[in-house]
Structure 1
Amino acid sequence: MGETALGLSYGFLSMLLFGLYMVPRKLSDASPHSHLLSMCVGVLVTTISLKLVLDRSWTAGSAEIALSYVCGLLWALGTFCFIASVRWMGLSRATPVKNTTAVLGTGIGMLFFDEYKTTDPLTATAGSILIAGTAVLLARTSYNTGDNHSSSTSLGVIFGLLAAGSYASYTIPFKMVMLRGVSLEELIVFMGQGCLLGVLILSLPQRRRISEWLRETSRNQILGLLGGIIWALAVTALARSIKMVGVAVAWPLSNLNTVVAVAVGIVFFKEINYPVHKKEILLGMATATAGSVLLGLSR
């Protein structure tokens, strides 16, 4: 398999995993902070385990470690906002809003890392816009409760957009560390530590949240750990995809996880009335497929 094909394969794997990592949140009744803390523990354990199994050498200097921590801090902020968005709007509505980050990721790759030299900018931009369009189409399918103008929906959209901005922003220090020759496994270990630090910082205004987390049920803590494990595997796949095909292609491709999240919302959580919204769903799947094809052709 060629490098481009392998990079695209890793991108699709990250898409699947990113579409699933918030499912444990839907099954948990823990507070957002408690769930996020459990997730970060899962992230830390998984990233360290992957590092010890795949590559035991350590090469990062203080600058690379600091940048990796910044990645983790931005991820923690983005995930806190995403969890809040899921709380207010549901998984199948929040995920498409968050995934408008696809266009931001393509812009970052082109502007900051000169990826236009190896990627056709027009084709990649068109593909990312189609994927963002998929997010808009599938988001509309969730409006079946008559409350789309309610304050809860407005809050969900705001938190979803904040998550999109935070997630897109962490690709900048992420790619900078990769370009400095640090292994993906090492980068993600320090990023995982930054994630935990970020959540602890978010917990400072209300210190009781740490004690609340310690008192959570085993079920809720395991669900949080599972979410963190899935995310760590997803970001590992994404990192390999970025290394092979660039941020401009890998980032929007991974954000096709809208399709996975909506499918889960339909089948397991009954968040969407499929017979009523069949047209939007099928059109969304078509634009997602077209966007993926364009991203593949842009290399």
Structure 2
Amino acid sequence: MIIIETYTSAVIFCILTMLAWGSWPNTQKLVTKDWRFELFYWDFVFGIAVVAILGALTFGSWGTEGRGFFEDISQADAKNMLLASLGGVVFNIANILFVAAISIAGISVAFPVGAGVGLVLGVMLNYLSQPDGNGTYLFSGVFLIVLAIVLSAMAYRKISQNSGVELKGLLLAVISGVLFGVFYRFIAASMATNFVMPEAGLLGPYSTVVCFAAGILFSNLILNPIIMKKPIQGEPIAFSRYWNTISRNHWMGLLGGGIWGAGLLFSILSSEKAGFAVSFGLSQGNALIAALWGVLVWREFKGAPGVNKILFGMFTCYVLGLILIILSKVY
């Protein structure tokens, strides 16, 4: 299989993950206005599964390093396959709740709460489970990125039409943040720590992503119909609406899932050289990438009073935080 061989390459792949996870929401902006997230989400999940399978059959099967995909998946313990799949289930629940939190409480509340809780909890869990690198640098970087996310929320509040916060939306954001912080730990627990000479019974990176995608896919067959019939926000949706739309809506969902799935694969591949805490921490800068898209492309902050200073502080904290997280493996 094809793997990453240097820490520098691992950092580059973490940044690619950050770009992917911060960019996929653009595909949802490109669908028609009547295309609800619940319908978009079916194609999003299919997109993740397609990328996982293609990655396993190509890069996961080429090369001479480690175990190829078919050899790896056939020797894996059922417990480890279940753990990786459970990571997909947890992520799926978190993602659905997070979107509901945004629809109720607004992005200015949901993002700092959900992304902030997920970032801090995820780095802590992965670092305590596998201490790797300078903890002072790592957690200082995490603090700066959380501060950047808070500043991002302040900027969004400048353009928010509704400053009221519903308790239900805030609670959903907290729950989704906890689940976002936990899901990566299931992945890490199922994986080999050495991709060149992987331990028996544990999963390699490509098999891990396939099992994770299977967890998302099968859990979505249960969760999404429930959300469509009893939505947290809005009217119930009949599944027949999925077929009654233009092809662009489906292609955008598949593309969004493919982008997110590619980001996950990059993150998993980088984890051997960067460590799970660094890999997860760098990847979670996606909130700021999403803000960049909003500033530069969608012009979401145009005309908002006093927002430029907040955005400058946000991007400064973000860049400094990333530098500290990267340096945590050097010093």
Query: Is TM-score (shorter-chain normalized) higher than 0.5?
Result: yes
Distance 2:238 2:212 in 1: 23
Cα deviation, 1:219-247, whole Å, max 9, x if unaligned, reads 22111111100000000111122222122
Instruction: State the partner residue of 2:53.
Output: 48
5 Å-filtered alignment, 1:1-299, equals 3-28=6-31, 29=33, 30-54=35-59, 55=61, 56-57=69-70, 58=73, 59-88=75-104, 94-100=110-116, 101-111=118-128, 113-115=129-131, 118-145=132-159, 147-151=161-165, 157-179=170-192, 181-205=202-226, 206=228, 209-273=238-302, 276-299=306-329
Deviation at 1:126, TM superposition (A): 1.1
1:144 counterpart SS class: helix
Deviation at 1:68, TM superposition (A): 1.6
Evaluate the alpha carbon distance shift between residue 247 and residue 263 of structure 1 in structure 2; reply closer, same or farther with a 3 A threshold. Answer: same
Give the TM-score of the pair, scaled to structure 2: 0.81
Cα deviation, 1:196-239, whole Å, max 9, x if unaligned, reads 11212113435665433233432221111111000000001111
Deviation at 1:36, TM superposition (A): 1.2
CA RMSD after TM alignment? 2.4
Q: Which amino acid aligns with 1:189?
A: V
Q: Is the 8 A contact 1:34 1:209 kept in 2?
A: no
Deviation at 1:20, TM superposition (A): 0.4
Percent of pairs with identical residues: 22
Q: Which amino acid aligns with 1:139?
A: A
Distance 1:94 1:242 in 2: 28
Q: Which amino acid aligns with 1:288?
A: Y
Q: Which amino acid aligns with 2:51?
A: T
Cα deviation, 1:133-177, whole Å, max 9, x if unaligned, reads 11001110011245453246x665444433322221111110011
Distance 1:270 1:90 in 2: 18
210-219 or 154-163: bigger deviation: 154-163
Q: Which amino acid aligns with 1:26?
A: K
Q: Which amino acid aligns with 1:236?
A: L
Evaluate the alpha carbon distance shift between residue 76 and residue 146 of structure 1 in structure 2; reply closer, same or farther with a 3 A threshold. Answer: closer
Q: Is the 8 A contact 1:86 1:94 kept in 2?
A: yes
Distance 2:217 2:160 in 1: 38
Distance 1:214 1:168 in 2: 35
Distance 1:187 1:16 in 2: 21
1:143 counterpart SS class: helix
Q: Is the 8 A contact 2:100 2:172 kept in 1?
A: yes
Q: Which runs of 5+ in 2 are unaligned?
A: 62-68, 193-200, 230-236
Give the TM-score of the pair, scaled to structure 1: 0.89
> Which has the larger helix fraction?
1
Larger Cα-atom Rg? 2
Distance 1:242 1:98 in 2: 23
1:215 counterpart SS class: coil
> Which portions of structure 1, spanning 4 or more consecutive aligned residues, are displaced by more than 6 angstroms?
89-93
Distance 2:188 2:260 in 1: 18
- How many residues align? The count is 295
Evaluate the alpha carbon distance shift between residue 86 and residue 26 of structure 1 in structure 2; reply closer, same or farther with a 3 A threshold. Answer: farther
